[in-house]
Amino acid sequence: MKFVTDVISVPGAAAGARGDDDAPTSVIAPTGTPTDAMPPADGDQPLAWAPIEPAPKKRRLGLWIGIGIGVIVLGAGAASTILIAPGTTVAGIPVGFMTPGAAADAINAHLAETEVVLTGEGEGTVLTGADLGATVDATALADEAFAAAPMWNLGAWMGDPVPADIAFDTELATSALRAAVPSSFEDPVDAGVTFDAATAAYVTTPSETGTGIDVSALNAAFVDAIADGSKTVEFPGGPAEALPAVSDDDAAATAAKLNTMLTTIGFYVGEERTVPIDPATAATWLTVVDVDGQLRIEADPQAIKATSDYLGLVVDRAPVNATSIVDSAGNVLRDEQAGVTGRTVGDTSGVAEDFAQQLAAGDGVFPLDVTEVPFETVTLFRKIDVDLGSQRATLYENGNVVNSWAVSTGLPGTATPTGNFKVFAHTRMQDMGCYPGAPYCTENVPWITWFTTNIGFHGTYWHNNFGNRMSHGCVNLPIDLAKYVYDWSPVGLEVSVHN
């Protein structure tokens, strides 16, 4: 009987060999069976363990090289999306291969560390950009550089520089330079504007030139040095002319503006300057201040309020009625009084603040908000009654007696005519009866109000016998009363003469 068995190979079965395929293979008997208990049959090979065929090793070198190159490429690609292109500069400061944040830090550090070395007076003094307050918007510039030249854009490499406005803190820089070279500084004096009470006008005070180190020129030299790639700049520390911030021309222009305003300043109703403000009062409202070398007009609302609170007392007025003299038929003989509209000023609580703002802008005309009160038209029917019997003249207006006086009318031979008449003329003064053959001559008769041919009311200086007939036909009056009638009686006024 032949037995069929599996050939099993066990790693390491070959004695003294590791992975040696040529080594003999040991025979392992079945468990629990002696090796000599089952001799091989005739013609059969002895049962033996087959040698192990080692598995071929996988070649991974190319894979690892590929992965490494891929990582490098991916890293470079990612970096190109966050870095600024090489060769990029901001105001001369290199920022290539940097993130915008790192670029901003580099710009600020470069400015702070750049040195100014003074020559001449102050020889050897070194000030840094930090000492002089050199500043720039580094964050915005770095962002601008990245936006214009990202690393991934090969066409932006070595591109145009990004310009920057590097500025000193003028006050800080001047203070640092003054401390370093005090002998170079003598402060200039600004021109000014003051009110002259004697002339009631604004006048100027002159400016004076000083000395100092020119901060603007130093700022420019500092910028140029950085643009040239240098971190050091030399600058003369000796005194240079320092002009006043406010020149004589500046002050003259401000004074002219104020003096022009003084000619119109006030509170207006329409075109009427209802409440003029005199220059001395206006000067207590106005102040000229120097703000960083600029003259500015300021106005004090509290000072204005002392006037604006009482505007109603000055602006408010009652209407004035128009009056017209008429005859009995209602015909207008004369407009005695023109009508005047009344007015009431509105709320003045905010006037002082509003006017202060106007004055600061150079406008001295403040329009007031008023409510108009209309006037009425009144007619006056006037007439004069002359009673020859009582020798009295009475003046009536709308049926009411206005005045009544004793008069002297014509004597029996020259009686005053009776009837209803109308005033037709007025004569300031003339001679009466003074012609050849006349029975009398009276010179310089005043205030004649004519109501019929050669007959009128007039003043009488040659007698005082009023209440009795004395005239050649006219109505004699005391001179002052004759003037009253002259003014009171328009042409067309009705006159009634009766016994």
pTM exceeds 0.95 for this model? no
Kindly state the DSSP code that residue 443 receives in the 8-state scheme. E
Amino acid 81: pLDDT: 87
Report the top-level CATH class of 264-373: alpha beta
Q: Which residues of 249-265 are buried (b: 16+ CB within 10 A; e: fewer)?
A: ebbeebbeebbebbeeb
CB-based contacts of 240, cutoff 8 Å, min separation 6: 184, 211, 212, 213, 214, 217
Q: Which residue has the tokens 């009625």?
A: 321
**Could you state, in order of their start, the residue ranges of all structural domains in the chain?**
1-53, 84-193+206-244, 264-373, 379-498
The reported pLDDT for the residue numbered 54 is 53
Residue whose tokens read 């209440």: 467
Each residue's pLDDT, cut to its tens digit, for the chain (499 residues) gives 333 333 333 334 333 333 444 444 343 344 443 334 344 444 444 444 344 455 545 444 444 334 344 433 444 566 778 999 999 999 999 999 999 999 999 999 999 999 999 999 889 899 999 999 999 999 999 999 999 999 999 999 999 999 999 999 999 999 999 999 999 999 999 999 999 999 999 999 999 999 999 999 999 999 999 999 999 999 999 999 999 999 999 999 999 999 999 999 999 999 999 999 999 999 999 999 999 899 999 999 999 999 999 999 999 999 999 999 999 999 999 999 999 999 999 999 999 999 999 999 999 999 999 999 999 999 999 999 999 999 999 999 999 999 999 999 999 999 999 999 999 999 999 999 999 988 899 999 999 999 999 999 999 999 999 999 999 999 999 999 999 999 999 999 999 999 9
Count Cβ neighbours within 10 Å for each residue of 401-422 and write b for 16 or more, e otherwise: eeeebbbbbbeeeeebeeeebb
User: Are 190 and 290 within 8 A, CB to CB?
Assistant: yes
Q: What pLDDT was estimated at residue 43?
A: 44
Q: Which fold has domain 379-498?
A: L,D-transpeptidase catalytic domain-like (2.40.440)
Q: What is the pLDDT of residue 263?
A: 97
264-373 and 379-498 have identical folds: no
Quick check: 113 and 121 in contact, CB under 8 A?
Answer: no
Q: What is the pLDDT of residue 77?
A: 60
Query: Which DSSP helix (H) or strand (E) runs through 458?
Result: strand 455-459
